Amino acid sequence: MNAIISASDLAHALTGPTPPVLLDIRWQLTAAKAAGEPPFDGRAAYEAGHLPGAVYVDLDRELASAPGTGGRHPLPDLARFGAVMRRAGVSSRTPVVVYDGGQGWAAARAWWLLRWTGHPDVRVLDGGLPAWEGPLETAVPAPAEGDFAPEPGAAGLLDADAAAELARSGVLLDARAGERYRGEVEPIDPVAGHIPGAVSAPTTENVGADGRFLSAEELRERFKGLGVSEGSPVGVYCGSGVSAAHQVLALAVAGIAAELYVGSWSEWSADPDRPVAVGPDPQ
């Protein structure tokens, strides 16, 4: 099953016998806001207009635990995550489509969490809300309680030690902007640079000018150029496990399985004993 869905295919699915549950995950990275702008309010954006029947899910509070030693967006408490999904109407046998404001990072985080915890049918709306040409609504729905019970998978998740090992034995992709990877700037975390051995692979290069994913073939060629070969283990990290989820999604579109280091650079750089590399090269 494809990990993404087009707006036209979603419109068709919503009229079918088993319409998907829709989750609105609008969110913005604090450091990406222009100086002087008020904090982005995803719930307010949702209430101003969302896909019909969509339920809002807060990334910071419901798709992550509080910031701490595990990074800025550590894994959520799974009991709480399950309760949030059930309140949103998510059931194990019902398809789910997640979307955000167009960047795709937040929606990918929800996609990855649901897939990692065992949901068999989750897709991301390609291009997010801007790609949708149908009506919007402001009414907040009250869906019937779902039955989804998270069961974490045995694979797909990296900790710091596993990420470091993968950088040596496989391919570890750094999904942040190139200047952060090279250590030229660091707007959020206390230390600039990258995990030794990691390859710079900015998430922004997985999409076209319209914000939609490149084709599967184009993505395969991109990752091949980054050193990903058939059968090679692949992992991804970013600043806090959000944009890296989008990279894992892009890899899935290309037919490549990958693991996510959720703690990412915000966890790695907080430990002064972990090595840091700078410059354009992995080492």
Q: Which residues are catalytic?
A: 238
Q: Is 90 exposed, middle or buried (0-12, 13-18, 19+ CB in 10 A)?
A: buried
CB 57 within 8 A of CB 80: no
Distance CA 239, CA 187 (A): 10
Report the alpha-carbon angle 176-177-178, nearest 5.
115
CB 130 within 8 A of CB 271: no
How many residues would you count in the chain? Answer: 283
Residue 209 token pair: 């000018």
Distance CA 91, CA 101 (A): 24
Report the alpha-carbon angle 105-141-12, nearest 5.
65
CA neighbor of 247 nearest in space, from 64, 109, 60, 120: 109
The dihedrals phi and psi of 131, each to the nearest 5 degrees, come to -80, -15
Element (H, E) at 110: helix 105-116
CB 203 within 8 A of CB 173: no
Classified as helix, coil or strand, 205 is helix
CB neighbours (10 Å) of residue 114?
Answer: 22
Strands 96-99 and 157-158, how do they pair? Answer: unpaired
